[in-house]
Structure 1
Amino acid sequence: MKIPDGDLLRSRVVDDPGATLATALERRLTGYAVVEPQDAVLLGDETRGVVTFEDGIPVLAYCTTTDRGGADALEDVAGPGPYSVDLYELDRSALAAAHEADDLRVSPGLPAERLADDRDLVTRTRDAAPDERLGSDDTDAVEAFLDDEAQIEAIREQAREEARTRAEEWGLTDALDES
């Protein structure tokens, strides 16, 4: 992914990149953030992730080290802090070609979820996103899971088995309801 250099707005080492994502959202920033995880900050590793924004809403994610995009790129850079995060502003037209890469796209709230684990920021980002960006990818996966009765029953049976095992370990087998 090739993105022209933008104007640096902020460069920080932070425990949580959520503050940078919130800043981009509040400023309705069009540009990108370069995120370097703990190993890069503390051990000189080369791992870097890039998240692009349009009007403050994340559009793409890319990991320069693994050459993976989308949700996979976020996984490559997610972890405990600290992070080095640089935030750049860039003209929308300079990002137009990059934003056509469907394999690098992320749903609007995914960076806040994966990098910051911040439900409030996920919600605020999704609420601010245009309807056409919301899509149904997250909802479809949940609906497909909920429609899979066999998978749900397998999870229930596994939970029952774990409960039986723990009850036996703790001497509480007479308290089990086997109905």
Structure 2
Amino acid sequence: MTPEGTLVASRVVESLATPLETCFADQLTGYLRIESGMPLADADPVVVTLDGGVPTAAVVPDGDQTGAGALAALPDTGPFRVERARTSASALASLHDRPACHVDPGAIAERADAPALAARLRERAPDDPTDDSVADFLDDPDQIAALKAEARAEATARADEWGLSDQLDTE
């Protein structure tokens, strides 16, 4: 499940804020492969994809954890072994197209006690077009009224079909 990529760096760091800051500055499109930096730690690695330096999705490649669940699988404290890899947006599409894999762009930075970085990551994150279209729909009273009228007409037709017209509330 880890996309093909070109290794940019492999380091052991005390805080995940360091590689996140580097990815943000470089506007890296690729991924971080994060695992415990302790030699005998028994934890699966977590892959966090980046779009222009912003965390977008997360998975545990050998497990079934995705999104926030994958981030929860990260060790609580460092050191961390982190590999940074560059790849194309199309190579990441299979993860970015799966809503279950999506993560809050600032969640890892917050976990690394870097709230200013978390705010910058969220600010740079692209807007989710599905969120905007739903919000636009809900903010349009004419569309809501049309939807209610359509539902009322369908309910009336079904009631007539089933012989329950007398049971309908006409208000």
- Partners of 1:68 and 1:113 in 2: CA distance: 20
Unaligned runs of 5+ in 2: 133-171
What corresponds to 1:101 in structure 2? Answer: 98
What corresponds to 2:9 in structure 1? Answer: 10
**Alignment partner of 1:86 is 2:83:** yes
**Alignment partner of 1:73 is 2:67:** no
**Alignment partner of 1:37 is 2:36:** yes
**Conserved in 1, the CA contact under 8 Å of 2:4 and 2:91?**
no
- Partners of 1:30 and 1:86 in 2: CA distance: 13
- What is the Cα deviation at residue 51 of structure 1? 0.2
- Partners of 2:82 and 2:47 in 1: CA distance: 10
TM-score (norm 1): 0.67
- Partners of 1:113 and 1:69 in 2: CA distance: 18
* Residue of 55, 59, 68 corresponding to 1:58: 55
- Partners of 2:6 and 2:29 in 1: CA distance: 11
Unaligned runs of 5+ in 1: 137-179
Task: Say which structure is richer in helix.
Answer: 1
- Partners of 2:98 and 2:25 in 1: CA distance: 25
**Conserved in 1, the CA contact under 8 Å of 2:2 and 2:61?**
no
TM-score (norm 2): 0.70
**Alignment partner of 1:131 is 2:127:** yes
- Partners of 2:4 and 2:41 in 1: CA distance: 23
- Partners of 2:101 and 2:65 in 1: CA distance: 8
Once the two structures are superposed, what CA deviation does each residue of 1:51-103 show, in whole Å capped at 9, x if it has no partner?
Answer: 00111111101123542111111111131110000000001111112211111
- Partners of 2:90 and 2:66 in 1: CA distance: 21
| Alignment RMSD (CA, Å) | 1.9
| SS at structure 2 position matched to 1:78 | coil
Stretch moving more, 25-34 or 42-51: 42-51
Matched residue pairs, number? Answer: 131
**Conserved in 1, the CA contact under 8 Å of 2:2 and 2:47?**
no
| SS at structure 2 position matched to 1:32 | strand
| SS at structure 2 position matched to 1:112 | helix
**Conserved in 1, the CA contact under 8 Å of 2:14 and 2:79?**
yes
| SS at structure 2 position matched to 1:106 | coil
